[in-house]
């Protein structure tokens, strides 16, 4: 195997990154490269010919260097100037285009979002500038795709969550004074966020209200996901009607028992046939053609998901919880 060239780093095949930092720096090394990219993407794919609004026809444009460092291309017929940054978030900005492009790269490549304080430290600007740049990128460039997810046989994972943080002790005392006890996640009024993601594809998420209503969750799922998709959800009973409607192929994530450490989940329906019975995690027994005892987890419709175990432990099983959490959204 030839040695790697450190002067030309290549993204590893095993990397989950779709666009590495080295590739970004090679494509946009300076402000001129960023401006040329904007010119080609917005006005002139070939870099020379573009539509001139003054001549009302396609003309040849050329970039002239001026003392004012004008960032524009000039029509060779009438002298009309076209500024690639006009009408964009970069217009009338004193920050170089490389800073704007780098902020967009950080936002798009970060899994958990990016903070304005981090942008401030990396660009060497003040906090107000970093916050403004992030605000423009988030609000004007990041628009959610409203196209439905999935398709025939495409796996889509869906789940809901309460957003708003844990209940503080002062809030608990105030609720107890009103005679309201602990009601779990519903103790504190929180907005409910529903999200769906294609495996290796697009994501859709939306705030659906202040309560986790089962009918609302199913209606939102039908809005986000196309029919005949393979939908994966947790074992919440609110998703039970999806199995009987026939609109989707419904599967559930296996929930590990308290005494079993689950390292691998094989997401497939359990095939029940004649033969020796096998015990499930829920305490029921289902027939097994091979006679082997394999722990499984079943959903409300009777179709289960086989859970392959690698070891057993006693008491609280943190390994199983982490394995299940990493498999979810």
- Nearest CA to 51 out of 70, 26, 77 is that of 77
Residue that has been written with the tokens 């998901």 in this structure: 305
Cβ–Cβ < 8 Å for 158, 141: no
Return all residues near 153 (Cβ < 8 A) that are at least 6 apart.
Answer: 228, 229, 230, 249
pLDDT in tens, 34-81: 999 999 999 999 999 999 999 999 999 999 888 888 889 999 999 999
Sign of CA dihedral 236, 239, 244, 249: negative
Cβ–Cβ < 8 Å for 312, 252: no
What pLDDT sits at residue 254?
A: 61
The Cα 244–Cα 240 span in angstroms is 8
The answer on pLDDT for 187 being more than 90 is no
The stretch 216-228 carries a mean pLDDT of 91
What pLDDT sits at residue 109?
A: 87
Identify the three-state secondary structure at position 182: coil
What pLDDT sits at residue 2?
A: 65
What pLDDT sits at residue 256?
A: 53
What pLDDT sits at residue 146?
A: 79
What pLDDT sits at residue 80?
A: 93
pLDDT in tens, 281-324: 333 333 434 444 444 444 444 333 333 333 334 333 444 444 44
DSSP states of 102-162: HHHHHHHH-SS---HHHHHHHHT--HHHHHHHHHHHHHHT-----SPB--TT-EEEEEEEE
pTM for the full model? 0.56
The stretch 264-288 carries a mean pLDDT of 37
- Nearest CA to 107 out of 146, 82, 133 is that of 133
The stretch 240-262 carries a mean pLDDT of 70
- The answer for 168, left when phi > 0, alpha when psi is -120 to 50, beta otherwise, is beta
The Cα 1–Cα 27 span in angstroms is 28
The answer on pLDDT for 259 being more than 50 is no
pLDDT in tens, 4-19: 778 788 888 888 788 8
Residue 231's Cβ-side half-sphere holds a number of Cα atoms within 13 Å equal to 28
Identify the three-state secondary structure at position 304: strand
What pLDDT sits at residue 240?
A: 87
Beta bridge partners of 297: 305
Q: Alpha carbon 46 to chain centroid distance?
A: 34
Query: CB atoms < 10 A from the CB of 135, how many?
Result: 12
Taken as a whole, the chain contains a residue count of 329
The answer on pLDDT for 263 being more than 60 is no
The Cα 301–Cα 243 span in angstroms is 7
What percent of the chain shows pLDDT beyond 90? 38
The stretch 194-211 carries a mean pLDDT of 87
pLDDT in tens, 74-122: 999 999 999 999 999 999 899 999 999 999 999 988 878 889 999 999 9
Domain residue ranges in the chain: 21-140, 155-177+186-251, 255-314
Cβ–Cβ < 8 Å for 81, 72: yes
What pLDDT sits at residue 319?
A: 40
DSSP states of 29-97: -SHHHHHHHHHHHHT-TTSSEEEETTTTEEEEEE----TT----EEETTT--EE-TTTTSTTTT--S-H
The Cα 328–Cα 158 span in angstroms is 9
The Cα 93–Cα 180 span in angstroms is 53
């Amino acid at each position: 195997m030839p040695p790697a060239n450190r002067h030309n780093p290549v993204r590893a095949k095993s990397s989950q990154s779709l666009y590495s930092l080295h590739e970004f720096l090679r494509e946009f090394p300076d402000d001129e490269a960023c401006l040329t990219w904007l010119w080609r993407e917005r006005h002139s794919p070939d870099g020379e010919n573009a539509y001139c609004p003054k001549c009302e026809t396609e003309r040849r444009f050329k970039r002239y260097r001026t003392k004012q460092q004008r960032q524009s291309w000039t029509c060779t017929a009438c002298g009309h100037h076209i500024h690639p940054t006009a009408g964009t978030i970069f217009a009338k900005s004193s920050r170089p285009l490389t800073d704007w492009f780098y902020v967009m790269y950080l936002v798009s490549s970060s899994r958990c979002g990016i903070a304005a304080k981090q942008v401030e430290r990396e660009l060497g600007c003040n906090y107000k500038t970093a916050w403004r740049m992030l605000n423009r990128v988030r609000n004007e460039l990041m628009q959610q795709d409203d196209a439905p997810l999935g398709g025939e046989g495409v796996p889509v994972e869906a789940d809901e969550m309460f957003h708003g943080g844990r209940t503080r002790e002062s809030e608990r005392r105030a609720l107890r004074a009103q005679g309201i006890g602990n009601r779990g996640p519903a103790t504190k009024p929180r907005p409910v966020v529903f999200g769906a993601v294609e495996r290796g594809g697009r994501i859709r998420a939306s705030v659906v209200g202040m309560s986790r209503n089962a009918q609302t969750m199913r209606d939102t799922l039908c809005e986000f996901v196309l029919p005949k998709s393979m939908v994966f959800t947790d074992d919440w009973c609110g998703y039970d009607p999806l199995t009987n409607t026939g609109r989707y192929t419904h599967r559930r994530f296996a929930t590990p028992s308290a005494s079993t450490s689950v390292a691998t989940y094989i997401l497939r329906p359990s095939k029940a046939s004649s033969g020796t019975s096998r015990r499930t995690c829920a305490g029921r027994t289902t027939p097994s053609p091979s006679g082997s005892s394999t722990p499984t987890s079943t959903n409300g419709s009777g179709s289960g998901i086989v859970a392959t175990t690698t070891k057993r432990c006693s008491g609280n099983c943190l390994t199983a919880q982490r394995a299940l959490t990493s498999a979810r959204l």
